[in-house]
Structure 1
């Protein structure tokens, strides 16, 4: 369920005082490499929408570019309970019954447009463990990390699973081939400092997610349509030609 900030689409911004700055990079295929840093929370529906639209844009431009997508943590509700609370109860309290129904109807329609079923059953709660696991996955390859993020989104938004549940996280990790997940999740302190470092480095200056940084220079926020991502890819690649 997006907050007001999350439902606002911010237009394409060029060179907005970037988080970091990189010049032109080429992959080993000879195509230009587009690096995408995504700040996201695993209970943010707009983050899943943004991911799917990003992937459509990447598919449409794969003949021109190679991509490296890296996921970073954000906490919409850092004080959410570890034990979880029913999604419907939480969001009715947060937004009120009328706004809850409107937002649910809207997200259901948007998900249907992506070929997905929006499921409001199950629990919501603290997302630290999911971010610890995503950070671990990043050390084993960004393709694995991306697959894990997708699996967790599907679990939470389409299958009514609680991603604060250790077994749900372990099943997702095993499905995409993440090693060391059980050891990580057995120790509630393991990886927490790294998540906080990632949060500070990539997400401390933003107020809502999803937030995308393209080649360190071009920033996009919200569930942008594929054509906006493509414009950002092309601008970043063109800008790199001058380096």
Structure 2
């Protein structure tokens, strides 16, 4: 019996980026339809759309209107909700948006415990669908526990400064490599896809890899 060819997919992403949530959902669809001789190792890499954001949070709509203008936001929200619905996401624009440094640190810790994917999914759902503030450390610990991490270990990590330097360095490194928007997918160390592309775009890449496996 042949061994499946492992494909590493690195997703540079921010936990408050709606297109990152959509992009991961679309990637999942493509993986579900991928050739059977491939297996996948999906890893998240940190990016911060706004490294200067408050750690305490401000209302989402207030932040969006300040960034995009009220008129644009009025048109943007129905569009995003429609796109989200197609991917099984129920976008909610209540709640707060805050600095994502600690949430990226949590993802780094989760990776060390082989729990990064469920924690990432929980972070996206908490922020985008459940009005939770993922800049709040108590909220992060609760999310970690529900996603299968040991709550005491997650608390010890989050309440320390562990991983902070590494996350900041990775974010800076992404920008130095020319990544200015997310999501950004690096597949098999060779193929790069920018943005929340349709599943077919990923499927085309997977087919090329499968042919050479």
Distance in structure 2 (CA, Å) of the matches to 1:75 and 1:159: 21
Displacement after TM superposition at 1:203 (Å): 5.1
**Structure 2 CA distance, aligned partners of 1:159 and 1:228?**
30
* Residue among 71, 95, 108 paired with 1:135: 108
Aligned in 2, Cα 1:62/1:171: closer, same or farther, shift over 3 Å? Answer: farther
- Summarize the Cα distance change of 1:133–1:92 in structure 2 as closer, same or farther, 3 Å threshold: same
Deviation at 1:62, TM superposition (A): 5.8
Unaligned runs of 5+ in 1: 1-27
Q: Distance in 1 between matches of 2:2 and 2:162?
A: 37
Q: How does 1:105-120 map to 2 (within 5 A)?
A: 105-120=78-93
Kindly report which structure 2 residues correspond to 1:77-156, keeping only aligned pairs within 5 A, or say none.
Answer: 77-141=50-114, 144-156=115-127
Which position in structure 2 is the counterpart of 1:16?
A: none
Distance in 2 (CA, whole Å) between partners of 1:93 and 1:29 is: 55
> Tell me, what secondary structure is at the counterpart of 2:73?
helix
- Name the CA distance, whole Å, in 2 between partners of 1:225 and 1:72: 21
Instruction: Tell which has more relative contact order, 1 or 2 (C-alpha 8 A, sep 6+).
Output: 1
What is the TM-score normalised by the length of structure 1? 0.82
Matched, 1:58 2:31: yes
Match of 2:197 in 1: 224
Q: Which runs of 5+ in 2 are unaligned?
A: none
Q: How many residues align?
A: 210
Residue 166 of structure 1: CA displacement? 1.3
The answer to whether the 8 A contact 2:45-2:170 is kept is yes
SS in 2 for 1:81: coil
User: SS where residue 40 of structure 2 aligns?
Assistant: strand
Counterpart of 2:129?
Answer: 158
Indicate the structure with greater helix content: 2
Q: Secondary structure at the match of 1:126?
A: coil
Mapped to 1, the partners of 2:143 and 2:35 lie a distance apart of: 27
| Cα deviation 1:11-57 (Å, max 9, x = unaligned) | xxxxxxxxxxxxxxxxx961111110010000000000000000001
> Do the aligned partners of 2:64 and 2:73 also contact (CA within 8 Å) in 1?
yes
Shift of 1:200: 4.2
Q: Are 1:190 and 2:162 matched, yes or no?
A: yes
Query: Is this contact kept in 2: 1:73–1:203, CA < 8 A?
Result: no
Deviation at 1:195, TM superposition (A): 1.1
Among 135, 149, 153, the residue aligned to 1:178: 149
Q: CA deviation at 1:138?
A: 0.9
